[in-house]
Structures are given as structure tokens and as C-alpha cells.
Structure 1
């Protein structure tokens, strides 16, 4: 796999994967990104032009996708519309990108017999009760609850069908909630960090009891590379770091680490259909492929993330006013 096409590589998780590939392997990387609001070219600044290229375009553009896939050894598919609130306001971009875009990529890898890895989410499984000891596994039935998670579930099923019907070489991974550098400030953790840095009181949906299973984006990147290199074709792997924490605890930890009172936040109206709890059983990935997370201390990972946003104000400050105006309009 000398050359890898990374779709959505200017977004949060994709850009972390691009950095990880270039820093830890000899692969060259081509990024295909539509450069929507969630992408940031600054996230790819300074990369080695001898091993890296950025192509601005749509994964639903059949001719463009076909030409790029024909010239690579593998495709890692991160590109997706992924913000739940946006999917509730307008589901159409989620259908176009997550379903039509994935279909377009699958047809290209089928034509050129190229290895394909599909990035998905734990949200396709729906949610778990707060007091349920169970975790999601590779055999958990799908039960998505939003336009975002339902279109991601649909894209997973397309990949499985193309493996079975057409024999493409593909794997899937469903990951828990990521945090770390380069995450858009509309998302929970960077929104709270940048609120504090901007002198704005952080906001918390409802009572903040919803539980997420957090993983640092660097650990996610390492897991994806491991699956790409050694994963069994046609199989799904769950990626999690045993990082279950409820939202109010995350927020209070951020406030404490940033020298603020743990009660210096406001409650706002909860999101419609807000999933209660996600929890990943990543034991198969660990046992079969030997992957282990590096960021096992969530508080230390948060401190590292806070430091990144403190020292990269030029990356996020131009976005802040627009993001907060949008949330204010929605009463959040």
C-alpha cells in the first residue's frame, strides 16, 4: 500500500490520520475533500509535498473519484456529514454524502480492485440505558436514531453488500467519540474549551448525564492503520478505549483543568432524540490485531487537547463567532 487515498482528510479525524500516516509510515497520501465548513486546509499545513497532495472535490463525483482510485493502492473513507444537530435541521446533505458518496467510492474500488476501509461510528447501534452493563459489539443490531446515524448505518450496509456481492476487499470500523487536535469547534469538547478561552460561559445540554465513550484521535488513527494492514477482509472491528464519561463530568474536568469553577456553565435545552449512552467493546481488535490505546488517562488527554487549542488560536478563532451565533439562534 504505497499510496493511500484518504477521503475527508481535511476534517477532524481524517486529518489526524493523515498526520499519523506521514509521521509513522513511508506511505504517500492523497486527500480528497469537498472542503465544507467542517474541513480546514490549515489542518494539513506544512506536510511534505513529495508525499502528500490535496484534491478538492466531492466523493459523489464519479469521474473524479474513479480517476483518483485508479492511481492508489488503498482507500480509507473518512468523509461524512457527521453533526447530529445539522442532520436534524436538514438531512439531505447526509443522504447525499454518506450514502451516495459511499456508493460512488465502492463502485470505483470495485472497478479498480483497490483495498477499501470504511470509517463508521458507534451511533449506528443507537444507545444504551445509563444503568445497562452491556457494551456494543460487532454483532449488536443496528438501531440508529438520527438522520446522521441512519445514513452512516446505510453506508456500512452498502460496504457489506459490495463485499458479499462483488468481492471487494473491504473492512469496516465503528469508533466511539473522538477528541483531540483539529476538531471543529461546533463539537462538544472543543466548544467548551474555546468558550472558556473566549470568555463565554460553556453550555451543557440538559442535565449532562448522557455518557460517551471517548478515544483520542491519535489512538483511533493507530487502530485504523492496524486494521488496514492486518484486518480480515469483510470483517468489522469496533474501536474503543474504555473511556466512558458523562457529559457533565467532561465539562467540569475541562473547567477545572482551565482554572475555572466547575459550576461555571449554563444548562440549555436538550437535543431532540439525544442518545443516552454509548459504550464500545473493543476486545476483538485488541485480541486479534494487538492494538492498544496510548491515551489511557482521559484527563491527561483532555489536558493535551486544551493545550493544543490554547496554542492554535489562529486555527479556530475565525470560526468562533459564527458557530456561537448559530447555537444562540437555536437556543443552545
Structure 2
């Protein structure tokens, strides 16, 4: 299968690209190379004969038409998005422009291409989204997001992703475009851009800086190892039912405070300080505006219909992640100079 992956130089997209190439697929990586993208994420496949790269913005309809015509993919996997909640609070326009308008242009380009090819039955448009579109959950562990949970986005980021989800479903219903959707929980792992919680904690710990935790640290997230997610995404793309959505979760709920303490314990063991524990650097900071209390995904559908389950516990995944950052300073060190990295964002509300 030849897959056009949008956002393939980003965190999750690059994991998909690497895994797809390893499994014998052809991949066209379309990425605008904005601040969070990094071609080093796919350097190990850049010379592979099954890999091609196209620098383009999903808001550039002419470029999309040209790339689809040139490469004639069998499927589009759409991961390109602005995704940082704090940045969406400070600059919501970029999120509406990329996540909503960009998805519209990609859908229209895909529809034109698919129609021009004679509407092949095997074509797929897979839209990759987030559990944040469902809003916030109560603390009851029996209550989790399902595919039927009503949408209730609370941030500019989640609202823009909810809008893009609705566009994809509408193009499936109105135009018959063969779409599948997936909504994932919080990803983590190697190549994670250093503005999200886990890489921030690891790198701040190593630098002797405070480990910032919003509010009391009681907010709960379901953590999904990025390579498990890439495996699930390829499964949904190739075996998911048309028009169907699939929730992909790690079944690893942790409060932010517990997560940071676990990271500190791993660092204490793998890279001990001269004195004390990395946990001594924990610092509670003013909470994010509109901070959702809890996310948790019920992955029953993808398990029952496609036979998928996460393979990595959060403890295993965090240790792998810490080891990767310890071993790959040449990857993360240059990223610390990029715009906004290391600054507290999302406090303008």
C-alpha cells in the first residue's frame, strides 16, 4: 500500500512513517516543517526506496492536488495539526486555520483525486484525532470515553479538532468519501517535541530546573506509548470499517503528579544526582485556563473488532522514553532553541 501521511515529520506522524516503511508499505511524507516538525525523526528511512518527502502546507490546495496526482497514493492518513493546548490559548487562529481549514482543503483534494481515479473501493482517508474532543470526565474510573460520547471540547485546540472530525464525517456522508477516524489518548515516547509534559520533565530534571506541575497535579490522563499508537493506526487504516471511528487508549491512567514522580524515580535509578532526588525539583505552578480534569479512553471497539490492545505499560514505556532521551541528546539539544520551547505558554486567557 502507498500511504500519504500528513505531518509525517512530527511526533506521532514520524512513528507511523517509520513503522509503515518497516512493514513494507510505501510512504509519501507531506509536512510543512513548522516549529514542531523535525526531519531527524525520519532520518533512518529517508534513503529508503519506498519513502518520499514533500514539503507542503495542507492549506495549500494547489500543492495538495499536485502531490496527490504525482504520487497516486492508495490511502491518506491525516495527522498534520497544531496540537499544543497552551499554544492554542495564546494563538487560537493558527489552530482554526490549520486544523479546520487545512482539513477542509485536504478533504477536497482527496475527494477530487479519488473521483478522478474512478472512486476505487480500496481507497481510504484516515483522520487521526484526539480524546480531548470529548471534554472532561468525572473521577469515577468506571466512566470512560467511548466512540458514542458526545463532543464537548473545552480549549481552542480541542474545538478545532472536533470541527475537523465533523468535516471528515460530513465528507463521508455527503460525498461518499471512504473515511475512517480514530481518537487517541495522550501519546508519549521517543522523538516527543520538548514542549509537552514528559519531555519537559525529563529535560528540566537533567538541567537542574524546576519540574512544573499545573495546579495540584491531580489532573488525570490516559497514557499511550507512541509506537503502540502507530501500530493501532495502521490497523485502523487497513482493516477498519468505513465510516467507523475507533478510540485508541493506553489503559494507563495516571495523575500528572504520579506521572512526574514515576519519571523522577526512573531518573534517580538511571541517571542519579550527586545528592537528593529529582523529585526535589517538583514545583507547582498556576493552572492552565480551562484545564480538563480527566481523560480516559475505553478501547473496547478496536479490541473487539480489530484485535488490538496496547503492548506497553506506562512504567515500561516511561523507562524506554527516559533511556531514549538520555541516549539522544544530539536530537533534543538543538530543539531547545526553537520558538516557545522552555517558556510558560497558555497564560493569556
TM-score (norm 1): 0.95
Report what 2:48 is aligned to.
49
Shift of 1:247: 0.1
1:165 maps onto 2:174 in alignment: yes
- Cα deviation digits, residues 110-156 of structure 1 (max 9, x gap): 11224200000000000112236310001000000011000000000
State the distance in 2 between where 1:330 and 1:72 align: 42
Matches within 5 A, 1:194-273: 194-259=203-268, 260-273=277-290
Contact 1:11 1:39 (C-alpha < 8 Å) held by counterparts: yes
Matches within 5 A, 1:1-332: 2-23=1-22, 25-47=23-45, 48-70=47-69, 71-113=72-114, 114-131=123-140, 133-259=142-268, 260-295=277-312, 297-320=313-336, 323=340, 325-327=342-344
Higher mean displacement: 216-225 or 253-262: 253-262
Higher mean displacement: 39-48 or 274-283: 39-48
Contact 1:69 1:75 (C-alpha < 8 Å) held by counterparts: no
Secondary structure class of the residue paired with 2:12: helix
Contact 2:7 2:30 (C-alpha < 8 Å) held by counterparts: yes
Shift of 1:329: 10
State the distance in 2 between where 1:111 and 1:212 align: 39
State the distance in 2 between where 1:194 and 1:176 align: 23
Shift of 1:46: 2.6
Secondary structure class of the residue paired with 1:262: helix
Deviating runs (4+, > 4 A) in structure 1? 321-325, 328-331
Higher mean displacement: 216-225 or 40-49: 40-49
Shift of 1:321: 5.2
Secondary structure class of the residue paired with 1:53: strand
State the distance in 2 between where 1:256 and 1:294 align: 22
Shift of 1:263: 3.9
Shift of 1:318: 1.8
- Cα deviation digits, residues 216-271 of structure 1 (max 9, x gap): 00111111111111100001000012111000000000011101343431111110
Runs of 5+ in structure 1 lacking a partner?
Answer: none
Secondary structure class of the residue paired with 1:271: coil
| 1:106/1:33 CA distance change after superposition, 3 Å | same
Shift of 1:293: 1.3
Contact 2:194 2:341 (C-alpha < 8 Å) held by counterparts: no
State the distance in 1 between where 2:150 and 2:199 align: 31
State the distance in 1 between where 2:336 and 2:125 align: 35
Contact 2:187 2:223 (C-alpha < 8 Å) held by counterparts: yes
Contact 2:289 2:347 (C-alpha < 8 Å) held by counterparts: no
Runs of 5+ in structure 2 lacking a partner?
Answer: 115-122, 269-276
Higher mean displacement: 84-93 or 257-266: 257-266
Contact 1:66 1:108 (C-alpha < 8 Å) held by counterparts: yes
Shift of 1:330: 5.8
| 1:173/1:198 CA distance change after superposition, 3 Å | same
State the distance in 2 between where 1:167 and 1:126 align: 29
Secondary structure class of the residue paired with 1:94: helix
TM-score (norm 2): 0.91
Secondary structure class of the residue paired with 1:119: strand
State the distance in 2 between where 1:191 and 1:140 align: 31
- Cα deviation digits, residues 191-222 of structure 1 (max 9, x gap): 10111122222111110000000000011111
| 1:324/1:58 CA distance change after superposition, 3 Å | closer
State the distance in 2 between where 1:327 and 1:277 align: 22
Contact 1:255 1:264 (C-alpha < 8 Å) held by counterparts: no
